[in-house]
Structure 1
């Protein structure tokens, strides 16, 4: 562990082979896993739990208290999964009493100046591009990609394998496997390129396309579309995931198909 000119609180638990560059600050009640690199001028505050082989670039602030007027100093965590990269000046706040933790999964890339607020849950293999803002209690599914400068309203859910266009304003939930763009945010197709890259077969991609045609392109309301999908489409993991996501949406899903983007 290298820490010339760095401050590491005696109560922090630092694993073997962690590199801490000069002028980093590691507070009490912090745990950092093996092989992680902490850049200069990084601040890691109480409640951080950082996994193995992570990379945290200069200026990032991990586990600061929530920007929430209801926060009363309760103990909570900010958990970062293994092999995640956090670029310059990212801010990740720890949780509140609502869930007790903010969670970033494994193998994520959080690009420069992004902000992840209290009680967010970010899945594995997620890419959050420069300047993205996640309000409190946002959930992001595995393999989702959020384009730069997107702003996500609190309590929004973003499904697995979704792709969000840069500069988007997310006021409604984004179902899994979709592409979202335009203003107001709308369905513009499924993320077929991303799905192929991740090993989805042509038949599986066609199945997902057929589901979203019923939902977004056939002039049914959401309840009608879900009933038709459930009755006419073979039960698969993907079909059931889409149905459950939409039925569990408390804010409602993004608006429907409005032409080719």
Structure 2
């Protein structure tokens, strides 16, 4: 099978798939021949993204909130009815709240865990039966460098992403003999809506101009830049391919060397 169609015949479901890393991943996997379902909470955003992605192949849409188990079950059933059993799951949906720990309330804490960690749990449980039955599967969880090191003012986000990496490692061991791999990618600061919101928050609290705030975030990367969504998508695509069949239970930084330098 040529590299250009290396995922032909596979059905990939991507949460948070209408923008940012999720959209870039959907595009990349579709280019490699996969049938792709993008899942998200905003039906209008899904429609726009789906229309744009349709040039690359079969694109399905599934509206649902990953934090709600019944919504996940409905979305996965819809995806399977349209495009068949799910072979690849990319858990990309996520949110970040910036607060000093002393001012972090229980509601914000629970929301960060619900979306960033429990949502991954719900989606993995929904996807694994098909993968076990078919003897093949790829799960890639989009974690963060915040799952490998600490960041100030995002303690709940850090805790959730550390949890994603632990969950990744545990399930990877449970499914290793079933033709399934489970890995995580850990982007540094990436050109996404979450970073745009962080830039606005820094500007509002410090008085820095937006370009100065962006530069502060880029400083964490030894390359002195923000990661691009397409770079993360390429890492995900590699983990889904045959060349990464022995890569299992890993947390792959996509960060220009930030974690190493730290």
TM-score per shorter chain, which class? under 0.3
Q: Which one scores higher on RCO, CA 8 angstroms, separation ≥ 6?
A: 2
TM-score, structure 1 normalization: 0.23
In terms of fraction of residues, the more helix-rich structure is 2
Query: Between Structure 1 and Structure 2, whose CA radius of gyration is higher?
Result: 1
TM-score, structure 2 normalization: 0.23
